[in-house]
Structure 1
Amino acid sequence: MFWTERTESLIHRTAEKTATPMATLVAQEQAAIPLGRYGTAEEFGAVAAFLASPLAGYVTGALIPVDGGLLKG
């Protein structure tokens, strides 16, 4: 889960439909993320930049979850 304009828009829409404060919905979603917060676009971009750089030249066929710990296993 990443905090983006789209995420904010979806939560806002849910808040309106359910008459639930947006802060409550955000807190519920963040509680489901093991790190307890949304990721940022910059964090995702840093991983993508690393994988596209020469530093990752020996990385092949890898799954690198950028998910705050949501993927179990």
Structure 2
Amino acid sequence: MRSLALELAPRRIRVNAVSPGLIDTPAYGKMGVSPAMIDSWAGDVPLGRVGAPADIAEAVALLASDAAAYITGDNLTVSGGMGVHARP
């Protein structure tokens, strides 16, 4: 991603990545994960909830918009704060 950002910057093409955290999708149900288990995971997330697909979509929309015109070569972690959470 960073190499592409450097290579494509002169052409005004931005390259970024989005790294999702715990996102509640139908895939969990297909793997046999119960809604109660997903809800229990929310206690580990600083924002107190499991993410939704819309949370990721909003981050992607931001990066694709003119509001992110000066952002390239970066990774946006959308995890409800899991990256800064100190676990006991």
2:24 matched residue in structure 1: 3
TM score, norm. by length of structure 1: 0.70
Number of equivalent positions: 64
What is the percent sequence identity of the aligned residues? 28
Q: Structure 1 pair 66/7, CA: closer, same or farther in 2 (3 Å)?
A: same
Q: Distance in 2 between matches of 1:38 and 1:26?
A: 7
Determine helix, strand or coil for the equivalent of 2:82: coil
1:36 aligned residue (26, 40, 48)? 48
Deviations 1:12-58 (A, max 9, x none): x255xxxxxx52x2232111111111111111101101101222111
Q: Distance in 2 between matches of 1:14 and 1:6?
A: 9
Q: Distance in 1 between matches of 2:53 and 2:33?
A: 22
Is residue 47 from structure 1 mapped to residue 59 from structure 2 by the alignment? yes
Q: Distance in 2 between matches of 1:14 and 1:56?
A: 36
Q: Distance in 1 between matches of 2:48 and 2:30?
A: 20
> Unmatched 5+ residue regions in structure 2?
1-21
Q: One-letter code of the match for 1:53?
A: S
More strand by share: 2
RMSD across aligned positions (CA): 2.0
Structure 1 residues 58-67 or 40-49, which shifts more? Answer: 58-67
